[in-house]
Amino acid sequence: MPEQRASSATSGISLPPGAVRAGITVFLIATLLGFAALFLITHDLRGSIDGFRNFDLRWALPALALASMDWFGSGVRIWLLTRPLQIRIPFRRCVQIGGVSAALAYLTPSGTGGGPALLYGLVRSGVSLGRTVAINFASVIVNLTFLSLAGFAAWFFGAAGAIEDIRLPVANISAATLFEWSALGFAGIGLAVILVAVAPRLPRLLLLRLFGPTVRVRKVLKVLQELHGSLIIYGRKGKLALLLAVLSNVLQFGARFVLGWVVLRGFGVDAGFWNVVTLHILLQFLLYFMPTPSGSGIGEMLAPALMSPFLEDRLLVAYTAVWRFFLNYLTIIVGGTLLVRWISEDAAGVSDDVLTTPDTARAGGSS
């Protein structure tokens, strides 16, 4: 049976420019406030600005390579998840969708904008809305599974031991203790969501019994049902794709964890690899639950607090800015530019259908 084609216009999937601008505005304001607070804490405006000169630009190349993994790793995951559904989107387009999804995720709290961006990119590439929703929820499950396993594995294998002697200057908290609790907490939350997706009947009954069939409860139940439906689809014909997609997240999330160490080396600091990577795993877990886009404002305080044992005070601002640039700003700039172009093309009625399925190939190929 031929694939039911869709477009962003006919499916109702769209990304209002106003919502994108609002995300950028909140991100910029929170970021500026965070850096302003950091300048006040360091008490050395001139020294902090001069600290940028200490960054060895040769380390910008590996940092750029790691930053590109946000696009490439996300593209690999999307490409893998389209295979079981007989969808043939070019890998290059999957990478573009992954980059746009990452950009919008960075502009929303807890990465919530990544899902709508993924839906938008797939639908405007010719994928039917039903299959797009299945891919989106499978992607959510894959990401939660990877991060939950990463958090549990880090705790089980004693990763906190690498930072047991580090205490954060804020409230004198042990970095090891904070890491253990955040890793286990994230693993617990991820496991709970996955279990609910696998068996949604009991949570459905509990929600209805406790809160009644309110509008908000019905929305939650709809999400649970779609998660469950996505698992059923991939459980029947995409088990290997799900497994490979989970493993492929090493590219995207692993690069984020390692980036902090590369930037530190760029400032001439030869700190222990696992110490720094463990601290950045902790940082990513903490930022995920912050109420601002990408933890902006808060991340500008957390990152220097975690890195203060390795850096002079005058380098904290420069380190945080360079780390943020490769982690977030670069993807937001490039992915945001591509997203704006897509929105403009859709507004002008320009088609961007690149989908190929076995049926369309037999009918004469794709446009």
β partners of residue 173: 168
Phi-psi region for residue 111, left (φ > 0), alpha (ψ -120 to 50) or beta? Answer: left
| Whether 5 contacts 359, CB under 8 Å | no
Which among 158, 171, 190, 148 is positioned nearest to 278, based on CA atoms? 158
Which among 112, 114, 34 is positioned nearest to 78, based on CA atoms? 114
β partners of residue 174: 167
Between 19-28, 203-212, 263-272, the lowest mean confidence (pLDDT) is in 19-28
Query: What pLDDT score does 307 carry?
Result: 85
User: What tens digit of pLDDT does each residue of 242-283 get?
Assistant: 899 999 999 999 999 999 999 999 999 988 888 888 888 888
Which one has a higher pLDDT value, 117 or 161?
117
Average pLDDT, the chain: 79
State the Cα–Cα distance between residues 94 and 245, nearest whole angstrom.
13
Query: What pLDDT score does 365 carry?
Result: 39
Helical H runs in the chain? 8-11, 17-42, 45-50, 60-82, 91-106, 114-123, 129-156, 175-198, 201-211, 215-237, 239-266, 273-288, 299-307, 313-324, 330-347, 358-363
State the Cα–Cα distance between residues 356 and 295, nearest whole angstrom.
38
| Other CB atoms within 10 A of residue 53 CB | 7
| Other CB atoms within 10 A of residue 209 CB | 8
State the Cα–Cα distance between residues 323 and 248, nearest whole angstrom.
23
Query: What pLDDT score does 266 carry?
Result: 94
State the Cα–Cα distance between residues 253 and 143, nearest whole angstrom.
9
Which one has a higher pLDDT value, 64 or 105?
64
Which one has a higher pLDDT value, 203 or 316?
316
State the Cα–Cα distance between residues 186 and 199, nearest whole angstrom.
20
Which one has a higher pLDDT value, 220 or 328?
328
Which two structure tokens, joined as six digits, stand for 256?
A: 């984020």
| Whether 134 contacts 233, CB under 8 Å | yes
| Whether 310 contacts 85, CB under 8 Å | no
Between 36-40, 156-160, 212-216, the lowest mean confidence (pLDDT) is in 156-160
User: What tens digit of pLDDT does each residue of 313-346 get?
Assistant: 888 888 999 999 999 999 999 998 898 888 888 8
Percent of the chain with pLDDT over 90: 22
Tally the C-alpha atoms within 13 A of residue 125's C-alpha that lie toward its C-beta: 28
Report the predicted TM-score, pTM, of the whole model to 2 decimal places: 0.78
User: What tens digit of pLDDT does each residue of 293-314 get?
Assistant: 777 777 888 888 888 888 888 8
